[in-house]
Each structure stands twice: as C-alpha cells, then as structure tokens.
C-alpha cells in the first residue's frame, strides 16, 4: 500500500512545506521522492530510523559522507503496529524537525484511511457477490449448504427468516439519482445512500449491497409480530429510509419480495422484490413500497405470451384510445374496481354526481362493448388495462 501512494504523499507534502520529501519501504529503498533521481536508491538514514522506531537527524557533515543523502530528519512509518517504511524531510534538521512528527502522522493517517476504505470495499464486493449468488441460486438443484456457508463466512446467520427489499432512490423521475453529477459526486451520493440504508437495516441481522447504479438490495430480518404482517417491520424501515433521503431531494421506491422463512426461499424473495419494484414503477407509482403480495395477479400476467397479450389489450382498449376522454373513462373504471358494487363511493371518489357516473358507465360500454356492472366483463377490461400497463 505504501508503494502505491508514496509518490502522491511526497508530492503533496513537498507542495505544502516546500522541502524535499522522500519515502522508503521497510528495506530502505526509495519508493517516492520529490527528487525523482532518488527513486529506487537506498536511503541509509532510514535503516537506523526503522530499526530504532524513532526519528533520526542527519546533519550536513554526516550527509556529506553518505551517497545521495541530504541533511534532514527521518521518521518511521507504522501501520497496524508494524514498521512499513520511513519518511524523510530534507533541510536543516533544526528547522525541519518541527515538521517531522506532523508529516509522519499525516502519512500514517492517510495509509490507515486507505486500508480501511479498501477493506470496506472488499467486504462490500463480497456481499455483492453473495447477492449475485442468491440471484442465480437454483433451489432443489444447487447445494443450500454452500449458500449457508457463504452467508456465515461474512458474519451473517443463515437461519434467520428474511425478506428481500430492492430500493431505488431517484429524483422526481425514478432512476435519475446521481445523473448530471461528476463521477466523484456520484460516488459520494451513493455512499451516503448506502450508509442511510445500513443504518436502518444494520448488520448482522440484515445484509445488503449496491446492485450497481442507484439500486440496492437488502435482505431484512423478518420480525414475527402477532396481529400484523411479517413485513410491517421491513416496511417501516423503508419509510425511515424514505424520510432520511427526502432531505437529500430523493424519492425512494421499494420492491418487497415474499418472506423467506427457509434458506432456499431467499432466491424467490429476491426475484419477487424485483418484480414488485418493476410493476410498481410501470404503474407510475414512485415513492411507495410495493409488495409482491399486492401484485400477484400482475405477476401472473407477466407470464402471458407478449404478442397475444398485446393483441388482446389493443383490441379491448381500441375504442377508449380513440375517444378524446378515453383516459377519463379508464380512470372511472379503475375507481369502479376499487369500490365494486358501490356507485355512491365511486361517485364520491371521482367527485361527480351519480347521474354523471351512470353516463360514464354507459359510455365505457359503448366504447368497449363491455358492461362493467357485469363481473366477468369488468374483469376482462381490467385484464386488458393491466396488460397494457405491464407490456408498455
């Protein structure tokens, strides 16, 4: 690690203090220097400095006896309690000594932060690979013992019931989070989003990672609570994430999969979460938590042959599409579906007189040939409208 960042540390430090700076490895070989002619050469004062683990001073007289060595101060660079190299500052040792300790600590802090970031990045990649493995896992064919081992190796308990949540933070338009930002700003934004999600769904009960772009997957622990849905805890967590991201100008849309009470069901929960998110966005409903349990019919319709489904939807809806107020008629129909056999509630929902509602129902019948007061015909129109949305 010191080798990778030695030249950068030297250049930055030299630019700040105005003195030549040199960094060596644990063998005294120069890894970085503001005097590029010294690269690869042995810096003799570093050997004693690292052996004693203390700063050493080199005056002009001593420097004149050593090849390529300038007067100055040399200090050991330690990482995790081990000496990994040294850093030397050229100049009158009485003058540059005041910089020594500061430069040493800055170099050690820089390396420590890089090590922590790389370690965290490696763990994030490992969790991301685990989620990819769950996505491709074939229940009944692949060995669930291998999946359990991979989960356990990352410090998570494989036997805990969980549900998959796919989270998509976006701007006013879903999927737009981070667009228009430069790469560093995007990284910073997604890192902040990830930290919010993990603060609400902390490890090791939960685990998750970025899926690339602005989407994240979380396998959230299920809490069995009497009298409520097993997903209530996960849904409330999504709402807390949503409130925190709202202050960042983001709208959080979530797809919630089916509960996975046994290990093999994690795969199905993951797939269901994606389906729920996709259906919710196709219904033009960003900013909510969409559970697959609310979209079982829509999920079933996604298995319909696309060509036949499109032909059915086009034929059934052709009259409404041609009418100037076709969208208003569809809106009336959807309200009718929400309040079946309750014309009074439908009229109130639409804020129209019941006579107006009756007129619209007759117009829908004239445009489609379907009487929505008949359950079978209403269901036919509902299927056509739903397929039209899903296949769009």
**CATH T-level fold of 2-116:** Beta-Lactamase (3.30.450)
Residue ranges covered by each domain of the chain = 2-116, 137-299, 306-390
Task: Find the Cα–Cα–Cα–Cα dihedral 75, 29, 35, 8, rounded to 10°.
Answer: -70
Per DSSP bridges, beta strands 289-291 and 251-256 are parallel
Q: What is the pLDDT of residue 188?
A: 83
> CB-side exposure of 113: number of CA atoms within 13 Å?
7
- Of 336, 321, 326, the C-alpha closest to 372 is 336
Closest CA to 363 of 331, 389, 385, 315: 331
Q: Which residue(s) pair with 22 in the sheet?
A: 33, 88
Domain 306-390 in the same topology as domain 137-299: no
CA angle (285 as vertex; 268, 193 as ends), nearest 5: 70
137-299 placed in CATH 3.90.850.10: no
Give the tens place of pLDDT for each residue, 317-367: 999 999 999 999 999 999 999 898 799 999 999 999 999 999 999 999 999
Q: Which residues does residue 217 pair with via DSSP β-bridges, in sequence order? A: 166, 209
Domain 306-390 of CATH type 1.10.10.2840: yes
Which residue numbers in the chain have pLDDT < 70?
1, 171-184, 224-229
Q: Which residues of 231-258 are buried (b: 16+ CB within 10 A; e: fewer)?
A: bebbbebbeebbebbeeeebbbbbbbbb
Quote the pTM value. 0.69
């Amino acid at each position: 690690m010191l080798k990778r960042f030695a030249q950068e540390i030297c250049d930055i430090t030299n630019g700040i203090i105005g003195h030549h700076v040199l960094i060596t490895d644990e063998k005294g070989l120069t890894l970085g220097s503001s005097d590029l002619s010294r690269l690869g050469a042995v810096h003799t004062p570093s050997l004693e400095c690292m052996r004693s683990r203390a700063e050493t001073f080199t005056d002009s007289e001593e420097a004149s006896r050593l090849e390529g060595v300038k007067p100055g101060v040399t200090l050991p660079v330690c990482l995790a309690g081990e000496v990994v190299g040294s850093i030397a500052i050229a100049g009158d040792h009485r003058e540059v000594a005041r910089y020594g300790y500061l430069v040493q600590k800055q170099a050690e802090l820089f390396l420590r932060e890089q090590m922590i970031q790389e370690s965290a990045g490696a763990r994030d990649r490992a969790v991301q690979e685990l989620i990819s493995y769950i996505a491709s896992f074939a229940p009944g064919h692949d060995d669930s013992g291998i999946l359990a081992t991979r989960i356990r190796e990352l410090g998570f308990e494989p036997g805990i019931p969980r549900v998959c949540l796919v989270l998509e933070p976006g701007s006013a338009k879903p999927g737009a989070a981070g667009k228009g930002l430069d790469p560093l700003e995007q990284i910073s934004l997604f890192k902040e989003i990830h930290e919010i999600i993990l603060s609400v769904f902390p490890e090791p009960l939960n685990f998750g990672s970025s899926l690339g772009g602005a989407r994240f997957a979380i396998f959230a622990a299920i809490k069995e609570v009497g009298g409520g849905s097993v997903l209530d805890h996960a849904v409330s967590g999504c709402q807390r994430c949503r409130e925190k991201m709202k202050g960042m100008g983001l709208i959080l849309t979530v797809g919630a999969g089916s509960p996975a009470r046994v290990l093999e069901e994690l795969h199905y929960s993951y797939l269901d979460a994606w389906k729920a998110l996709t259906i919710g966005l196709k219904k033009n409903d960003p900013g909510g938590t969409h559970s697959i349990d609310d979209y079982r019919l829509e999920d079933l319709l996604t298995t319909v042959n696309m060509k036949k489904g499109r032909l059915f939807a086009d034929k059934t809806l052709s009259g409404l599409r041609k009418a100037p107020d076709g969208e208003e008629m569809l809106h009336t129909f959807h309200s009718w579906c929400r309040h079946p056999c309750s014309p009074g509630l439908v009229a109130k929902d639409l804020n129209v007189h019941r006579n107006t509602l009756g007129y619209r129902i007759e117009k829908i019948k004239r445009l489609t040939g379907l009487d929505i007061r008949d359950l079978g015909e209403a269901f036919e129109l509902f299927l056509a409208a739903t397929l039209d949305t899903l296949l769009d």
